[in-house]
Amino acid sequence: MVFSVTILGSNSAIPTLKRNPSAHLLNVNERIFLLDCAEGTQLQLRRYRIHFQRIRHIMISHLHGDHYYGLIGFLTTLHLLGRKDELHIYAPAGLEEIIQMQLNVSSTTLIYPVIFHPLVSAALQPLFEDERVMVHSFPLLHSVPTFGFLFREKIKVRKNPALRAYAYCTDTAYDEQIIPWISGVDLLYHEATFMQDMAAAAAEKMHSTAREAAMIAKKSRVKKLLIGHFSARYDDLTPLLHESRELFPETFLAEDGITINV
């Protein structure tokens, strides 16, 4: 039984030599999901020896470039590698038009099916379900329509079903409205772009601080908190970790290349 997340990118908008912008790879019993696809994501996939063709589902949280600028390159690489299997993309509706325009101007027709699933601002939207996993989206509070994703693994304990869960909440202001959807999850990823001394800037840009991420984790009674989407201003992330752990001790840093079991 595998339920793990690999961090492909942990930074916010500006990449650094140490940290790529947002991308996570989730493995739920060999169902492989890519969450966001920033610039350089396919290089990270190669660096960490992840087989491209195993990815069947891509979730794009919102249409700020640092969450999808790597997508067209990834799609065309799959094309050049001869992919035949269909690929499902879950994203705000405008992404399909963006991708199609990029394909049109380069006279590219992909040799495999790409199926777009538009995200809507519903409280909890079912996206995918099979015998191993359930996936939902839910709205976050940001400057453009933005969505979090909730993954629940279906497991059997003797004759009774049980669930393990991972919630992905990137690019959001502090928002207690998400608590009912993420309550009690085994692992919560929550953005922590700034430290608390920049709380005013975080609020203005509709982002969160490390302390605010910890407050959400504590109020949601999650088991573990993973913080990321760090501003490029922070070379050393230890102060953000300490700030969050003061309120929620089971906090960990999302660092490029690490794999965490849910």
Q: What is the rounded distance in angstroms from the CA atom of residue 166 to the CA atom of residue 10?
A: 17
The two structure tokens encoding residue 259: 């794999």
- Cα 44 from chain centre: 15
**236 phi and psi angles, rounded to 5 deg:** -100, 120
Helix axes 238-245, 210-220, angle to 10 degrees: 40
**Three-state helix/strand/coil letters over 36-100:** CCCCCHHHHHHHCCCCHHHEEEEECCCCCHHHCCCHHHHHHHHHHCCCCCCEEEEECCHHHHHHH
Tokens 């573990």 identify what position? 224
**114 phi and psi angles, rounded to 5 deg:** -115, 120
Residues acting as catalytic residues: 66
Beta carbons within 10 angstroms of residue 107's beta carbon? 6
The two structure tokens encoding residue 141: 């509070």
